[in-house]
Structure 1
Amino acid sequence: MPAIVTNKFRIHNAKQFVEAFDEISTTSGAAITDASGLLNTNMYLFIGKVTAWSDDTAPPTPTDSVSNTVYNHWRDMIAAKKIGSTDVSHVCPRYNWTSGTNYFAYTHANNALFDQTFYVMTEDYNVYKCLSNNNTDGASTTKPTGTGTSIVTTGDGYKWKFMYQISA
């Protein structure tokens, strides 16, 4: 059955996932009760499956079976760490600015926007959004610089907007 999963819905689910690390409940379940009698949900990240598959280039497709969803991960688990909300953050793919690369101009009407490189990070950890790719979809050859609020037009015709700087 076809369905429309919007970007707004995806973002909502991502926020709900992060919030789940701090949720408490007054209902019963598999959780630890604190001094006030509320149940704190515990979440863990684990690693496992240290043995090779018969073909490491084509691992088996997961199945929705009791064996696969209930037992196998416990059997294969070798280490686990309790995860809290301070251990979780929203992220997006990192695209380093590279000379000779074609970047897509941002447009809110582009349904495939999140599958395209419309922003870059420079070695100064500055993040820029591409507003125009010189109208010919040519390669970017001049790195964007500056941290002001005005649009940066580089020698290759690209127009960039400084968004923020990532702390090192």
Structure 2
Amino acid sequence: MPISSLSLLCSSFSFSKDSPINISPTKDAVYVAAVPLRAAPGPAQILLSTAYNFNFGYRHLRHYVVLIKSSHHDQVLLFDFQPKDSENIFAALAVISQRKLPGVILNREIRRIPRTRCWFVGFSKGNSVEIANRFNQNWSTDLVVGTNDCRHYTNGLVESLTGEENVLENLKN
């Protein structure tokens, strides 16, 4: 599936003060968020931002991440799969031609659940951090758009955490 030559890094979120819904005192909440693809500064970034804001290319212009809201502390963990050197022109060419390129799994803490383009999926079946770490150890970091990209990573991680299959297809519907 074709994608522009723009990089796949997350852009900034807009956050609300509170987590949207569905907080359990004993289980970690799992969310999926869509963020715009980020391009190098200039016309490409303006075009991509405009397309994203008007929902053109809904599925192809979004980068998907998994969020885990801890039931034990006030933290949100973001799990992300993207090109290792997404600003490199060769990475962009590999994306366009759907060739394999080195990917990286990122895990970072963010302050809050995004208030827009973020969906509650369900609650984790167990220790979400352990489940995510096991999943990440077995995930191939050879990124191929359309075969092994952020959408496949998101679907797989969410399924490991909650048992919910094909979550991105369900969101689309």
Shorter-chain TM-score category? under 0.3
| TM-score normalised over the length of structure 1 | 0.24
User: Max radius of gyration: which structure?
Assistant: 1
More helix by share: 2
| TM-score normalised over the length of structure 2 | 0.23
